[in-house]
Structure formats: structure tokens, C-alpha cells
Structure 1
Amino acid sequence: MKVIRFVLAVALLTTLGAIQALEPAPMERFFIEFKPGTGAIIEAGVRADGGQVHHHFKRADALAVSVTSRLAKRLGSDPNIVTMEPDARRYLAAKQALLTSQPLLQSDPFAEQLVPYGVELVQAPLVWDQGFEGEGITVCIIDTGLYEQHEDIDSSFVLGGHSQDPNSQWFEDGDGHGTHVAGTVSAADNDIGVIGVSPGKASLFVVKIFGEDGLWTYASDLVAAAFTCADHGADIISMSLSGSSGPGPERKAFESLYNEEGILSVAAASNGGNRQRVFPASYDSVISVAAVDESKLVADFSNQNKWVELAAPGVGVWSTVPHVSNSWLFTGGNAYQGEPMEYAPDGVVTGQLADGGMCIAAETPGDWSGMAVLCERGEVTFAEKVATVMAGNGSAAVIYNNEPGALLGTLGEEGGWIVAIGIGQQDGQAALDFLGQEATVQSSAPVPGSSYEPWGGTSMATPHVAGVAALLWSANPAWTNVQIREAMDMTAMDLGEPGRDIAYGYGLVQADAALQYLLAKSTE
């Protein structure tokens, strides 16, 4: 018996050893710049040694590869390789501008067509009035895709697109970020929703480099996307994304696009609220854009550094999104559409409808057990209101606005919250007629469709600058990217410290002032 156990143990150890031997060595991803004419040799060597080649940029003398540490060491000593750096990650630079208690200084795009405050601040309507609306100029948006069926995107001005994500198409946008950016660049003037900096007249080409989750991508993927933009006739590249390191091949690629192909690239300064340098915004060939609010004050999240070149609106920016709310209050035979409170759980709750007034702790009744409680917005945060309902043993909280318009809100952080949604003022007041009746509160994920939301971030500021550049270029397509950039810099509204500073760069981009600058220069 001992002999048999010994043999089995040896066999098991041998099998485990064989399995471990078969496990592939972990790989790391690198961005390589090679000497001209040597790319094919290096690529063949990488493949022969079991590595992966993601991109081969012949126009940039660069490769993006994944290799083992052993192969990386060998490549590092290859005399044909100029530089070999980690292939840095790139992230989106935006977030929804959800409320905690205070209102946005905007009207409601669901009630009537809205000219977002940012479009006004950058002087876009003044340029429209002179007959220049971005027509004939192509803005390439590198992002999460575009919901092409959106009611506020004129598909006749969408030239097409390309997706790097194998699981989705360029005209799909599960995240919503790319659709929001596109609306700021060029939402149509069609009596619904919002209007872009270009009122639907700039041509759009879309390159999707993020998956449906919108998490992150690589610098080499961004370079591939930028070259795709160039190959499809882009005049302007809009990149509402950033990362903390800048590989040499990426820098050289954007230099080539700017200096040799005449493309104007615009990117987000990022949302860290610090002085960190980010890329691609900090390359000399790219315009770095900071975010300001409706009062022209720099946003607290906007990075501040010497590479910031221009500022644009980026707080509470209303634009297009590819999803419609699927949260509701059902009572009295009526259905009132709402928005889920951020951090509240999904779920369906049915109970008697109660009036909680302002839902302030001092006014809590003895018992709201099992009830759906209506709370009017105001005086305290949404989180405090929901906590008050929970203290009264309520099963769901429905917070209705205290001013016209939809209500998008946040509870601020994760917690053991109950189901909670926000609804419009008119709906909330109407629901008060059904107190004591059965009510069902549903909070669930949105469904695909045309809608609008206020988001914030340097991601939202970036397309304002891209849109302004499109307006200017449409006045005279013979102007160069260098001239367009100079005009925007020299005529920006100086904010903060006199002259160029780390918060605003040259200042808030001004479309009409830049146009007059260009026209005056043309007569010299």
C-alpha cells in the first residue's frame, strides 16, 4: 500500500510539474520605436519568439508588442531599436454632473431646444450669424463610439467610423461618453434637445477605441485611431481622454499629424485636480483643454500645469446620450418617468404612497413602514432625505424637483440605501393627488434611446474647442491648422492671472474673436 501511495504521489507531482511547464510566461506590452527599414525584421523576431504584434506603424517607425520579460530584455539590447517603453494606458476624462442638492444653472432640454451655456460662452452663435457653421470640415472623434440613431445627430453629416473593439460597432455606444462629446461638437439645430458648437453642420468621423465599458485603452491604440482619422480626411481630432505617461512613438505620431498632414489635435487636460502632466494633451502638437463652469471659473477637478493651452466649458454640460431612463413611479393609473439616484440599488418596491414633505429628519413621522415616500427637493441633500425615509422605515424614496425639469441626483457614496429615484416637479406635484393609494417605484438600468444629460469633465471642454476650430475653418478651408490654433490662442478671453497661466492657458476660447483675427490677418 505504501508503494502504491508513493507511485501516485510521484505521478501527481510529475503532472503538476508538466502543467506548470506548459503555462505561458506572463507578457508585458511595449511601444517600440525602430530604426527606419528594420521594422519587418523586428516584427518577425517577436513573432518567432512567441510574442504578439498589435500594431506596426510604418509611417511612424513603431511597433506595439506584447512579449515576455526574457524577450523584452533581448529586444532592449537590439541595436535596431531606438526606444522601448511601456505602452501607456489611456482613460476617459468625464463623469456625469449629478446633483447632491443644488440646481444646475440650465433650462431643460426635454421641454424645449436648449442652447447649452457653453455654446454661448464660446461665441458660437455669433459665428453662425455670419454664415459659418462648420460645414465641409471633418471632426474625428476618438472615443467610445456614437449612437448614430440619436434624434439630435444628423446622420447625413456622419461620414462613418471604425471600431477597434472586436465586440461592438463604431455606431454603438454602451458607455455614452462618445455620444455626449459628439453632441457638443455638432448636435443639430432641429427644435429638439440641444445644439452643438456647430449646429449639426460639421462632418463627423468616429473611431471607437474603448469597449462598451469605457474603461481604458493603450497609447498605441490611440495612435492607430489617429492615423485612421487622418486616412479618412480629418481636419480636427477630438480626444476626451488622457494618461500619465507619453511614449516617444505617440509623441512623434502627433507631431507628424500636425506638421506634415495639417491636422489640428485637441485633448483633455484631465480631471485629477492637480498639476500632473498628461498625454496626449501635453505634447506640443496637441491643444490641452481645461474646464470652466458657467461663471467662467476653472473647475476644481481640472488639471493645472504649464501645458494647458485653452479653457472651455466643462461643468454641467448638457448634451446627447444614448440611453433613456427606465426608472418610474407608478400610481393612480399614471406612470411618471424618473432617474435613479446614484448609489441607490436597482429594484421594484410597492407600497402605500406617503407625503414626506421636505423629508427633513426633524419632521419624520412615527412610521412610514413599507411606504413609498414623496420628498420635495430642497434645504438638505438627497442623501439626507433618503436617510430620513429610511429612519421612518420607508421602503422607497421619490424625490421630486422644486423647479421645472428632470432631476438627476446622487447619494454621494455607497451605502445600505433603499430604492430611490428623482422625478420632475410637475410629476411630483401631480402624484400628491394619490396619497394613500398603492404606488410602485421602479429603479433599473436605462434602455437604448435618445436622451440628454449634463456631464462634467475636461472631456466636455475638449469638444467645445474642436467645434470652434470647425467653425473657423469653415470660413476659409485654405487656412492652416497653425493659423487656426494661433487665432484661438491670441483671442482667448484672458481669465485668472494676466497672460497665459496654468489654470486657463491663454483663456476661454472665443469663436467670433478668433474669426475676426483670422479675417484681419487675411487682409494684411
Structure 2
Amino acid sequence: MKRWGFIGLMVLAACMPDESEQRDAQRNVCPGITAGEVPHEPRATWKVTSDEDGREPVIIRYRQAQGVTAARVHQLGGQVTASFRHAPALAARVTPEERLELALDPSVESIEPDAELRATGLGALPLGALTRAGLGASGTGDYTGKLQRVQALEVWDQNGDGVPDPGAVTGEGVRVCVIDSGMDMNHPELRDAVVAARDFLDADDDATDGEEGHWGTGHGTHVAGIIAARAGMGGQGGPVLTESGLMGVAPGAQLLVARVLDMNGRTNMSVVLEAVEWCMSQGARVASLSLAGGLATFTSEDIFKAALDGGMLVVAAAGNEGQFLVSYPASDPSVLAVGAVDDLDRRVYFSSHGERLALMAPGVDVLSTFPRGLGSFAQLELGRARPASRSLLYAPTGNTWGALVDCGHGGTLDSCGEDSSCDGFIAYVHPHPYVRPERAMVNVMKQGARAVIFASELMEGGAEILSVPQQGAWVPAVTITQAASTVMGRQLGATTRLTLRPVDYAYMSGTSMATPYVSGIAALLFSARPGATPAQVRAALQSSAKDLGPAGYDTEHGHGLVQARGALEALIGAMP
């Protein structure tokens, strides 16, 4: 969350229009237009939010395993939400008074926080970051470039025909557990990969991403596709993708789907730890965690160590805070931490780093599976030019056109000036750190905008645009590269056409996207050598990584960019 300092607030106050200016601005509002979000937030899971009676989620750790009992918690009025097989602990929701009583119990060692964790995936990158992070002006939708950079194709598609070579290592026989938001269980390129699923929020076996007839974030579907999408199964991705669709890093791997993130992409540590233990019980060799938050506790360290000792490699996202501190649980000693690089193999500015960082993988503008029909591919036409663009997640689809009008920052109801028209136009909006993208969209829509194009401009503390809210009335919206912004700036007033086609895929960025690349490659290694231990697989991944910074390990890039073929050769060499 961005925190505004005193100076920033003074600047805002100075820039705010006075009352008479606000009244004049109302004259620019076109009649009959509904714009913006319905005042409703998707329901968060009960495990994350505080109850009305003031209960908070905690983990009660006992001194001895035989001392673990839910009876005392129930006797005090607390609500037990989880128990663990690999740590002497219970998760519960308690009032402050109940917590104090439990802390005084001689059998209780400590009361640990049941911290909140969040998904580490971004929608469209922060404005301007597509160019800053190395995406070329062509904006190609070819997904195989990233597979080539991590050498996946050199493992199972050496002839380059887009089909796994006969007898090649594809991850077959290996179970990868995706601990995330659940997924679209009927996505054509994923449904055949799933062998078991569990929803830890609703306590059932339907791990669909969403609830009550509404889709969730799509995060888990995107992550799962990076790992194990099967090509040519009927996904709708034209014109960017051919009928063959796309393929994951380990297209033969089997997926275990554990839903832990709620509709807002949040969860608690206890829910994740429950899922980790379930993954172990289901025979997973790899667990992929594209989420972060909280701090290590004795209980979390016990369970992650048990996973490692039990033969499961846990891979987690380093975090998107861009700080010199790898987020938890990636920073756990038993977990492999993954950061993100751009298409030029540079650490992306948002990727956290530090002493616990192990590997890097592609994490910018990654194309993967998304809940059916909820993704969209954008095509922007300006005369004969087709500037590169990316649709915002959940932006309405369709075909619209109009004159291109510069609407500045979109911060007021007269930002589009005299060039705006209630007959409709395409708004060209420049990002501003003190104008939320949603607010800018509402303002220009009320002035008659049929669609919004966000320019590529970065500034200190610049605004982020991740997605269009899933509720409310909105118009198609895209973000563009810096090269495209240069073109647009010269064509103000020209007729512009914007088409958003509904597809079963989406572009996302974040360490969330980098993590499943490493998870998928780990599955390839376990597939080639089923008797390998997590320690052997981790050693092979790290020793074969492509060095990106100073020679050897460094805290900016860890051991370097993960390399599938190199890791496979290293593992085979270590254990013939």
C-alpha cells in the first residue's frame, strides 16, 4: 500500500479544485451514463477476516505432541479451524480473553500469529513497465520464447515441432501440488492434468476458483498452466495463439489443486500449512506456492521441514515488494525461493531479493491459461499502425472506435476538455501517482469515453493498473508500451479502433509467474530420476543456473536463471 507523506498531502490539497470549479465540472458529465464499481467487494473467506465478536486467527503451539487437544479450546469458547500432523499445534479463532487463558495453560508453549498471505501475481504491469521490463515493441504473443529461455524445449521438444518428442522427459509420473486460488477445473488445457483437488476454504473437493457463481482472481489457473498445460486441447486463443494453444513447462506432470486463496487473493498461514500436509499425503514431489506474507513460526518451519524430509520440494515466490528481503514462506530454510527476471534477463524492479533468494525465472508478461472466456487479447488500430497493447484483466470485451482524445491524468470531470463528446471517443490517459486508475476511468467515462488507453509513463511512486474491478460498469481498457505511447501522442484526434476478444488465456506478471517455471522444471527432474531427493534436485537446479550477475551466487539474482536441460544433465551426472 502506498503511504502519502505530509508533503504529498499538501500537494494534493493544492491541486484539488475549489467548490465552484467542481460545480462547473459537472456540466461535462454526459447524461444517462453509469460508470464505476458497484459498492460491493467479493466476500472474503471467514478464515481471513475477523469475526464480529472480535475473534482473531492464531496458531496454538503445544510443548508436546500428546498435549495437543481441541477440548480446552472449545471449553473456553474458541473455534478450532485446523490441526496438523507434522507439528504439535492447532489453528483456532479466539477472542483476546480466550487467547490469554490459553497462553497461561502450562501445556501451551506459545500462541503464534496466523498471518495473512497474498497472491504474488500482478495483472497488467505497472504502467510503462512493459518497456521498462524488456518487452519489445512488437508485443508478440508467442509463449515459447520463455520456454526456450529456461531450456524446457531442449528437454522435450528438440526438433521444434511443438509436440513432445517420443520418450522425452515431460514430467510424467510426477505430481505437482498447486497451492493457490484453485482453478478453472474444466479449462481444456488443464482438466486432463488434474488428479486430485481440495478446497481448504469450503472444506470440499471442488477446488474451483470462485464461489457462489462468481469467478475468483484467475491466479491459480494461470499458475497451473505455466506448469502443466497440455497443448491442442481446444482452448480459445486466436489470433495470438494457434489451434495448438500453449504448453506448460512439464506438460506430462499431474496436478494436485489445493485452493487456499479467497476471492480477494488472501489466506492465512494455517490454511497453507493444511494444504502442504495434504499435498504430502497425496504423493506430491513438488509444491508450488505463488503467495507470500507473514513471518516464520516454529509451526511453519516444522511443517516445511517435514515436507522436505518427506520427499517434497516446496517452491515459493520471493515476493513483489522489490525489497532486499525475501518474503515468507520463500525465505524458509526448507523452501526454494524464486525471483523474477524480464525478457532481457534482468531482475525486475518489483522482484524481492536477498540472502535467501535461490533462483530466477521469467516473470514479466507471461502468457498462460485463465478461466474460460475471462481473458482477453487486445488489438489497437490507429490508421495503419497497430501499437502493442495489453488488455487489463477483466476488462469488458468488444469492438469500439472513436477519436483519440488526450484526457491528461483523468483526475477531474473536465480532464478531456473540449475535444470530448457525449457521442463517444477513445480516452488517452496518462498515469499519475495521486489518481487511481479506476477513478480516472470513471471520470473519462462520464465525459463520454467508450474505451480507455493508459499511456506508458513511469514516475516515482507511479500508479499501478492491475485490472478492471469485476463489479460495476466499465469500458474496454488497455495499457501500452512506451514505443506505442510515442505513436499515440502524435495521432491525437485520429480515429482509433480498439478490439478486445474474449479468450481462455491472459498475460500476467509477478514472482507468482516465475515460481511455476521452477516448479515445472523440478517436476522434469523428478520424472527423469524418481529416486532423487529434494536436496539433489535443488542442488542440480542451482548448480546449472545461468549466471546473471557477478560470478557465482549473488543476492540480486541468486544462483541465476533456471535452466532445464542443464539441471537435468547435472542431476543425471550426480546420480546415474
2:308 and 2:555 mapped to 1: Cα distance? 23
- What aligned pairs does 1:69-468 form with structure 2 within 5 A after superposition? 69-98=96-125, 100=127, 104-105=135-136, 109=141, 114-129=142-157, 131-153=168-190, 155-166=191-202, 169-173=206-210, 174-190=216-232, 191-198=243-250, 200-214=251-265, 216-259=266-309, 261-324=310-373, 354-356=402-404, 367-373=419-425, 395-398=448-451, 420-422=475-477, 451-468=504-521
Residues 464-488 of structure 1, C-alpha deviation per residue, up to 9 Å, x if partnerless?
A: 0000101111112112211111100
Over 3 Å counting, the alpha-carbon distance change for 1:99 and 1:301 in structure 2 is closer
3-state secondary structure, aligned to 1:482: helix
1:64 and 1:354 mapped to 2: Cα distance? 56
Structure 1 position 143, deviation (Å): 0.4
Give unpaired runs (5+ residues) of structure 2: 1-50, 159-167, 211-215, 233-242, 380-388, 410-415, 456-462, 481-492
Structure 1 position 206, deviation (Å): 0.2
1:440 and 1:482 mapped to 2: Cα distance? 54
2:361 and 2:351 mapped to 1: Cα distance? 11
Q: Is the 2:209–2:220 contact (alpha carbons within 8 Å) kept by the matching residues of 1?
A: no
Deviates more, 1:117-126 or 1:136-145: 117-126
2:179 and 2:541 mapped to 1: Cα distance? 22
Structure 1 position 322, deviation (Å): 0.6
Tell me whether 1:500 sits opposite 2:520 in the alignment.
Answer: no
Over 3 Å counting, the alpha-carbon distance change for 1:77 and 1:486 in structure 2 is same
3-state secondary structure, aligned to 1:70: helix
AA partner of residue 290 (structure 2): S
Structure 1 position 367, deviation (Å): 4.5
1:319 and 1:68 mapped to 2: Cα distance? 43
1:510 and 1:382 mapped to 2: Cα distance? 37
AA partner of residue 289 (structure 2): M
Residues 482-502 of structure 1, C-alpha deviation per residue, up to 9 Å, x if partnerless?
A: 111110011111112222111
Q: 1:510 aligns with which of 537, 544, 563?
A: 563
Structure 1 position 273, deviation (Å): 0.9
Structure 1 position 68, deviation (Å): 2.5
Structure 1 position 220, deviation (Å): 1.0
**Residue of structure 2 in register with 1:34 after alignment:** 62
Q: Is the 1:179–1:321 contact (alpha carbons within 8 Å) kept by the matching residues of 2?
A: yes
Q: Is the 1:354–1:368 contact (alpha carbons within 8 Å) kept by the matching residues of 2?
A: no
3-state secondary structure, aligned to 2:70: helix
Structure 1 position 422, deviation (Å): 4.8
Deviates more, 1:177-186 or 1:49-58: 49-58
2:392 and 2:107 mapped to 1: Cα distance? 56
1:367 and 1:161 mapped to 2: Cα distance? 54
2:195 and 2:248 mapped to 1: Cα distance? 17
AA partner of residue 229 (structure 2): A
**Residue of structure 2 in register with 1:481 after alignment:** 534
1:479 and 1:340 mapped to 2: Cα distance? 42
3-state secondary structure, aligned to 1:161: strand
Q: Is the 1:183–1:196 contact (alpha carbons within 8 Å) kept by the matching residues of 2?
A: yes
2:474 and 2:307 mapped to 1: Cα distance? 50
Give unpaired runs (5+ residues) of structure 1: 1-22, 330-337, 403-408, 426-434
Q: Is the 2:341–2:363 contact (alpha carbons within 8 Å) kept by the matching residues of 1?
A: yes
2:399 and 2:185 mapped to 1: Cα distance? 35
**Residue of structure 2 in register with 1:20 after alignment:** none
Deviates more, 1:54-63 or 1:28-37: 28-37
3-state secondary structure, aligned to 1:201: coil
3-state secondary structure, aligned to 1:224: helix
Over 3 Å counting, the alpha-carbon distance change for 1:278 and 1:74 in structure 2 is same
TM-score, normalising length: structure 2: 0.69
Structure 1 position 26, deviation (Å): 2.7
Structure 1 position 374, deviation (Å): 5.1
2:430 and 2:95 mapped to 1: Cα distance? 52
Q: Is the 1:186–1:201 contact (alpha carbons within 8 Å) kept by the matching residues of 2?
A: yes
3-state secondary structure, aligned to 1:145: coil
Residues 14-37 of structure 1, C-alpha deviation per residue, up to 9 Å, x if partnerless?
A: xxxxxxxxx996323221221334
AA partner of residue 305 (structure 1): G
Over 3 Å counting, the alpha-carbon distance change for 1:107 and 1:149 in structure 2 is farther
Structure 1 position 424, deviation (Å): 12
Over 3 Å counting, the alpha-carbon distance change for 1:133 and 1:98 in structure 2 is same
Residues 160-191 of structure 1, C-alpha deviation per residue, up to 9 Å, x if partnerless?
A: 20001229830334210000000100111324
AA partner of residue 27 (structure 1): R
AA partner of residue 521 (structure 1): A
Residues 230-264 of structure 1, C-alpha deviation per residue, up to 9 Å, x if partnerless?
A: 111111000000113122101100101101x1100
3-state secondary structure, aligned to 2:248: coil
Structure 1 position 56, deviation (Å): 1.6
**Residue of structure 2 in register with 1:406 after alignment:** none
3-state secondary structure, aligned to 1:303: coil
AA partner of residue 228 (structure 1): W
Over 3 Å counting, the alpha-carbon distance change for 1:283 and 1:43 in structure 2 is same
1:421 and 1:57 mapped to 2: Cα distance? 46
Q: Percent identity?
A: 32
Larger radius of gyration: 1
Q: Is the 1:145–1:208 contact (alpha carbons within 8 Å) kept by the matching residues of 2?
A: yes
3-state secondary structure, aligned to 2:371: strand
Deviates more, 1:489-498 or 1:162-171: 162-171
Structure 1 position 451, deviation (Å): 1.6
Over 3 Å counting, the alpha-carbon distance change for 1:44 and 1:500 in structure 2 is same
Over 3 Å counting, the alpha-carbon distance change for 1:69 and 1:341 in structure 2 is closer
1:67 and 1:283 mapped to 2: Cα distance? 27
Give the paired residue count.
453
Residues 178-230 of structure 1, C-alpha deviation per residue, up to 9 Å, x if partnerless?
A: 000001001113243322111x211001000122332x111111110011111
Q: Is the 2:392–2:479 contact (alpha carbons within 8 Å) kept by the matching residues of 1?
A: no
3-state secondary structure, aligned to 2:287: strand
2:418 and 2:53 mapped to 1: Cα distance? 64
TM-score, normalising length: structure 1: 0.75
1:514 and 1:436 mapped to 2: Cα distance? 52
Residues 80-114 of structure 1, C-alpha deviation per residue, up to 9 Å, x if partnerless?
A: 222321111111111113474666447655xxxx4
Q: 2:92 aligns with which of 58, 65, 74?
A: 65
Residues 313-359 of structure 1, C-alpha deviation per residue, up to 9 Å, x if partnerless?
A: 11111111115259999xxxxxxxx9866899x89999xx6443999
